[in-house]
Amino acid sequence: MEPVIIEKSKQRKVWKKFMIAGFLALGLFIFIGGFIFGLLVDKQDVSLLDKPLPAATVFYDRNGKEALRLSPVHATEAVSYDRLPRHLVDAVVAVEDKRFFEHGGTDLLGIGRALFTNLTNGKTVQGASTLTQQLAKNVFLSQERTWTRKWKELLLAQKIEKTYDKPQIIAMYLNQIYFGEGAWGIQKAADVYFGVSVNRLTLSQSAMLAGILKAPSALSPFTHKEKALQRRDVVLGLMKDQGKITAATYDAAVQEPISLRGSDKSSASEAMKYPYYIDQVIREASDRYGLTENDVLHGGLRIYTALDPRMQQAAESVFAQSSVFPASVADQLIQSGAVLVDPRDGGIRALIGGRGKQPFRGFNRAVQLKRQPGSTMKPISVYTPAFERGYTLEDSLLDEPVDFGGYQPQNAGGGYHGEVSIYDAIINSYNIPAVRLLNEIGIDAGMDAAKRFGLELTDADRTLGLALGGLQEGVSPLDMAEAFGVFANDGTRIPAHSIIRIETADGDTVPADSEPVPVKTTEPAVARTMTSVLVGVVSEGTGQLAGLAERPVAGKTGTTEMPGTGGKGIKDNWFVGYTPQLVGAVWLGYDHTDGSHYLTTTSKAAAAVFQKLMSEALRGEPVLPFPKADGISQKKPAKQGESESEKDHKDKKDKKNQKHEKKEKDKHPKHGKSEGKKNKKDE
């Protein structure tokens, strides 16, 4: 037995040595890691927080003239910690970072709690960023969600905590954060919402402002008062649970009525010129330059834009005229988004994201909207690839009932027109010929063309419904303006952009991740042919309300049907058109469509808005001609009596077309009952 005991004793000694070595190695690893981490923290530069409020950010127009100046007084006004009411600090800490005064910049307990909550819920429902980390992100970093940014945020937070005390940190946070309605910083927020200085905020008001931080636009008491009150009560409840206020104080605070400042003072965006355009500049500055919202609004930058102030003011004036738009129902305004782009350089000259009062950085329908484009897709996904394959405006298509595996497209208003030319099919926006033609050239041809025109489609869009704009995700007015710019620019697409360049206050150029490089999309002859027929759409087709006096204009209407209205209701109404120097895209519709909210006026309403918008925007601009398409007359081609040369030119294609159409006729009765998926309709 003795040898066994000796052997076990040796094994225990070996394991003991291994454990000691392991602990020593772990300790050394932690020590080295901590040392390196400390060095990385020390290398972080947070001196920007010591600097006075930044110089004004200046926006320049396309001619290099100052268009807008955002001085610090418009952005934020610093307030020292001793001027902050204690209940305001308690409210912000209670809802945003309850262990703020205990942790050292990173809350490991909060991270663990958030991780457990998110894992048990199967999704991200709780964050773990401390106030210090949020300050670091707002001042120094972009809003991208990457591990690299989180690591930088962690290092900066640690350096901030080593450099400043807690009162300084929370004061800087409250002076930097955005409270909605154009209010940057707590002093501006107190004034915008309640018309008081920050040191006179009540407990209830403080709780409401603290609650707004989660989602400033969605929780603004001016536009969502009930939600703002509910959020205020959540904050007050957290303060009570954390022992910051008594139950009696809580009861009194939740009963306190909220008296907001008059609506004429409710939005700083009303004092800011061109709020929708500036919104797009912020969006583009983030996407292309990696800048934050803070950088743009009060970073002392010099931002050179493609803005045409006269066109922007004209667009804003048109959108302020209710008579230009169809009448809305009582409880919801018919909305609209529009954009004007110069096709020759891709510069966004003007942009309007909605009608009526809108919060700054609210929903921008000119760029954020995603709606089905209806028949404005026909020139892009059907007729351009057809012309590229040798089809001409005189070629014939059949406008008769057809069934593609259960998909039975119909024309707006019903009815069929027999054999029609491509020219007639386009200017009258017949649906069935467009679907037949896409089927003939192949859906892949339509998908490829849409991609070349800059439209992002998905595999779900690979259907014949593509011909009529039946997209899964939809497009924005900016998307369509850029796409139609191809026709106006002889087949070359230049990505639409609002920013030309950005400079720092010191004159250094801020590098961009990408530049708007011209993209050859189709041949000039194809673009000119399409322009010639789109001129016909306006002169004698569905877009006649878009005509501009003594100025050539081309364009296309588009509508999508509101289900359940028997074809009499419209969900989306579009017009996209252009002159040689300007492309305009207009969308009309309700934000929330249902059985009581849809368009019942003429489907040409967007064309009328386009006409007014372009007329005002182009006032005083030179009248330029479209380049002539070789061999193309801008008059309607004859449907009968073709010359022998014309017949010879398309003989082979016609035979193939007739053979295909005969098969379809034999398979399907001329007036068979329509079944299957509903198509999108256009006039």
Report which of 376, 340, 342, 372 is spatially closest to residue 493, judged by C-alpha positions: 342
102 is catalytic: no
Residues 50, 56, 59, 65, Cα dihedral to 10°: -140
Cβ burial 625-636 (10 Å sphere, 16+ → b, else e): ebeebeebebeb
Report which of 577, 578, 576, 581 is spatially closest to residue 622, judged by C-alpha positions: 581
96 is catalytic: yes
Contacts of 221 (CB under 8 A, 6+ apart): 193, 208, 212, 228, 229, 258, 260
Report which of 261, 245, 298, 236 is spatially closest to residue 59, judged by C-alpha positions: 298
- In whole angstroms, give the CA distance from residue 681 to residue 561: 6
Coil, helix or strand at residue 95: helix
Return the amino acid letter for 339. Answer: V
Q: Are 557 and 431 within 8 A, CB to CB?
A: no
Q: Are 529 and 553 within 8 A, CB to CB?
A: no
Helices (H) and strands (E) in the chain, counts: 25, 13
- In whole angstroms, give the CA distance from residue 394 to residue 646: 8
- Supply the DSSP symbol for 430: -
H or E element, residue 479: helix 477-488
Which of 269, 375, 381, 603 is catalytic? The answer is 375
Q: Are 478 and 455 within 8 A, CB to CB?
A: no
SS (H, E, C) 304-317: EECCCHHHHHHHHH
What sign for the dihedral angle of Cα 269, 271, 277, 280?
negative
Return the amino acid letter for 365. Answer: R
Q: Are 140 and 149 within 8 A, CB to CB?
A: no
Which of 96, 284, 293, 661 is catalytic? The answer is 96
**Residue 15: exposed, middle, or buried by beta-carbon count in 10 A (0-12, 13-18, 19+)?**
exposed
Query: Which of the residues are catalytic?
Result: 96, 375
